[in-house]
Amino acid sequence: MKVLLIGSGGREHALAWKIAQSPLLDALYAAPGNPGIADHATLVQLNVEDHAAVIAFAKEKAIDFVVIGPEAPLVAGLADDLRAAGIATFGPSKAAAQLEGSKGFTKDLCARYDIPTGAYQRFKSAEPAKDYVRAQGAPIVIKADGLAAGKGVTVAMTEAEALAAIDDCFDGAFGAAGAEVVVEAFLDGEEASFFCLSDGKTALALATAQDHKRVGDGDTGPNTGGMGAYSPAPVMTATMVERTMKEIIEPTISGMAKDGNPFSGVFFAGLMITAKGPELIEYNVRFGDPECQVLMMRLKSDLLPILYATATGTLDRVDAEWRDEAALTVVLASKGYPGAYDKNTPIAHIPEATEEAKVFHAGTALKDDRLVATGGRVLNVTALGKTVTEAQAHAYALADRVEWENGFCRRDIGWQAVAREKA
Ligand code: AMP
Ligand code: GLY
């Protein structure tokens, strides 16, 4: 099979690394990719926003299958256009990608199909939103409706904070994403991420993970795209997984199909495990970054036939086997991230991968044949271990061997699980 992978982050490096191990693979291309992905794929400079150019490239190289990593091309309808051109594609249609692209869309789906989530209202102007907040009281959650790079959510502990967040949204802090606002009940509990494939009819549960969104140790400081993750998430017991499938994933699959937007791709469900059980915080319609890195480390099965079955409606014929070990990834980021940071800082050394540990590339590039950091999140040091505690020790041992002066990382990735394992 000839495969084209779209994307350039740590997530796509992990996908490329796994796909490259498939005996079914004849050739792997990545657009635009990164220097880590170049170890497994031929990099192609394609403008991914130009769907005709992607299709022309796929035809020219006789690509059998396109795997789309990030959300932006999905929300822009790249999967629809590829499929219309007769090319099998992993990733949902533009209509189904609204599950990530519009929080209001997802909340309305939950309301229609009785999927547990926080009570909510949608607003197109500030005053009625503020009245609703005053009536509900704090804590309460204010969300820009559209894609806001993870920054459109305010968990307001006071009414004043909530009112200010509403003004921010309607004053254009998140551009068009904030033209509509969702006000949502605060859910109290432990968060977990759940990953599940669907071909529109069948669901295949993958694995669970926990992310660390804040930049600082002890979950302090501003939100980021994710500073590290581990899998599995201990809060997601077998019972919780079963309930999530029944109460959240299955009604989503049947509801989307009933509404004429069958979902094909990966559900990345952000859950709050409350006293009542699993409740949906949000859906993403692609793998998490860096959650994908820990999932791929733990996946024993060949990834390629699983993704292909998802894309071609044959998910009932495949299964996914997982290692019993835990996996943990530590993000090395440029000093200053998520604020301003220097670009093109030199990375002098990345240690070799072993069977148990690997450094994935995210925001790296080659400049005059030297590896440099170009992004905020730059490297994902990922390791396996019998426990999260052991995976954490392996990951930090490897991270400490990376030579990159402008890099930093959190030193406590996995702390909740480590504390549980000690107890
Ligand atoms: P989101 O971008 O929707 O994932 O929200 C970002 C973060 O805000 C989540 O990871 C949660 O930590 C928090 N959050 C979102 N919605 C709620 C809610 N209804 N109750 C409590 N926390 C929330
Ligand atoms: N790590 C969170 C995300 O990929 O959205």
* pLDDT tens-place string over residues 183-203: 999 999 999 999 999 999 999
> What average pLDDT does the structure give for the chain?
95
Identify the band that residue 172 occupies on the pLDDT scale cut at 50, 70 and 90.
Answer: confident
What spacing in Å lies between the alpha carbon of 131 and ligand 2's midpoint?
A: 32
pLDDT for residue 267 is more than 90: yes
Average pLDDT over residues 168-180: 82
**Tell me, what's the pLDDT at 22?**
98
In ligand 1, which atom is closest to the CA atom of 118? 19
pLDDT for residue 150 is more than 90: no
**Tell me, what's the pLDDT at 249?**
98
Average pLDDT over residues 103-119: 95
Cα distance between residue 240 and residue 242, in whole Å: 5
Cα distance between residue 188 and residue 301, in whole Å: 36
**Tell me, what's the pLDDT at 58?**
98
Average pLDDT over residues 41-48: 97
The percentage of residues in the chain with a pLDDT greater than 90, rounded to a whole number, is 91
Q: H/E/C letters for each residue in the chain? A: CEEEEEECCHHHHHHHHHHCCCCCCCEEEEEECCCCHHHCCEECCCCCCCHHHHHHHHHHCCCCEEEECCHHHHHCCHHHHHHHCCCEEECCCCCCCHHHHCHHHHHHHHHHHCCCECCEEEECCHHHHHHHHHHHCCCEEEEECCCCCCCCEEEECCHHHHHHHHHHHHCCCCHHHHCCEEEEECCCCEEEEEEEEECCCCEEEEEEEEECCEEECCCEEEECCCCEEEECCCCCCHHHHHHHHHHHHHHHHHHHHHCCCCCCEEEEEEEEEECCEEEEEEEECCCCCCHHHHHHHHECCCHHHHHHHHHCCCHHHCCCCECCCEEEEEEEEECCCCCCCCCCEECCECCCCCCCEEEEECCEEEECCEEEECCCEEEEEEEEECCHHHHHHHHHHHHCCCECCCEECCCCCCHHHHHHHHC
Does ligand 1 have an atom closer than 6 angstroms to the CB of 141? yes
Average pLDDT over residues 338-348: 97
pLDDT for residue 348 is more than 80: yes
- Amino acid identity of residue 30, one-letter, is A
Q: Residue 266's closest CA among 241, 283, 281, 242?
A: 283
**Token representation of residue 190:** 């432990």
Q: Which residue CA neighbors atom 4 of ligand 1 most closely?
A: 282
Does ligand 2 have an atom closer than 6 angstroms to the CB of 226? yes
pLDDT for residue 149 is more than 90: no
**Token representation of residue 267:** 């559900």
* pLDDT tens-place string over residues 126-140: 999 999 999 999 999
Instruction: Count CA within 13 A, CB hemisphere, residue 12.
Output: 31
Does ligand 2 have an atom closer than 6 angstroms to the CB of 291? yes
Average pLDDT over residues 30-38: 98
Range scoring the smallest mean pLDDT among 49-53, 120-124, 204-208, 381-385: 120-124
pLDDT for residue 178 is more than 80: no
Average pLDDT over residues 60-80: 97
Q: Among 117, 141, 274, 284, which residue has the most ligand 1 atoms within 8 Å of its CB, making it the best to mutate?
A: 141
pLDDT for residue 400 is more than 70: yes
Identify the band that residue 171 occupies on the pLDDT scale cut at 50, 70 and 90.
Answer: confident
* pLDDT tens-place string over residues 387-397: 999 999 999 99
Average pLDDT over residues 376-381: 98
* Closest ligand (CA of 266): 2
Identify the band that residue 206 occupies on the pLDDT scale cut at 50, 70 and 90.
Answer: very high
**Tell me, what's the pLDDT at 72?**
93
**Tell me, what's the pLDDT at 277?**
96
What spacing in Å lies between the alpha carbon of 226 and ligand 2's midpoint?
A: 6
Buried b (16+ CB within 10 A) or exposed e, 353-391: eeebbbbbbbbbbeeeeebbbbbbbbbbbbbbbebbbbb
pLDDT for residue 245 is more than 70: yes
* Closest ligand (CA of 362): 2
pLDDT for residue 151 is more than 80: no
Q: Which residue CA neighbors atom 15 of ligand 1 most closely?
A: 281
